[in-house]
Amino acid sequence: MSTDGLAIQPSATTYELEDLVAQTWQGRVRVPHFQRDFRWGSRDVVRLFDSIIKGYPVGSMLLWVRQSGAETVTLGRLTISAPAGENTLWVVDGQQRITSIANALHPEGNRHAPFAVYYDFKEQQFVD
């Protein structure tokens, strides 16, 4: 059994939401093919944004830093031309959340359910 990978130690990095979304739109965050399909509905996406706006914890994400080739990536309703990179972030845990956020905040993604989420200023709540 090889122990080559044991020299790499896990680390924790905090990303600003805006930065993580921008990296996702640029194809620097990818979901591996072994992940289950996206399963969230509109209510789940609304609840996520409601938690974010209220400052509630939305959980951590587990991202695996790996080298990746250039490819076309589909994330929810977004099609992204992803460049090759040495430090691509592969989503091990958090796919539903990052897919929802990246699509709901993107002009192309938020045209489609379940990502068409809006904030009602009068009622001060998110609606789908």
How far apart are the C-alpha atoms of 92 and 115, rounded to whole Å? 21
Per-residue pLDDT tens for 67-114?
A: 999 999 999 999 999 999 999 999 999 999 999 999 999 999 999 999
Name the 3-class secondary structure at 72: strand
pTM: 0.88
User: What does the pLDDT read at residue 11?
Assistant: 84
3-state helix, strand, coil in the chain (%, to 5): 30, 25, 45
CA 103 to chain centre: 9
Query: Whole-angstrom distance between the N-terminal and C-terminal Cα of the chain?
Result: 51
CA distances in angstroms from 25 to 6, 90, 95, 119, 125, listed in the order given = 32, 14, 14, 22, 26
How far apart are the C-alpha atoms of 99 and 97, rounded to whole Å? 6
How far apart are the C-alpha atoms of 89 and 63, rounded to whole Å? 6
Per-residue pLDDT tens for 64-75?
A: 999 999 999 999
How far apart are the C-alpha atoms of 62 and 96, rounded to whole Å? 12
User: What does the pLDDT read at residue 76?
Assistant: 95
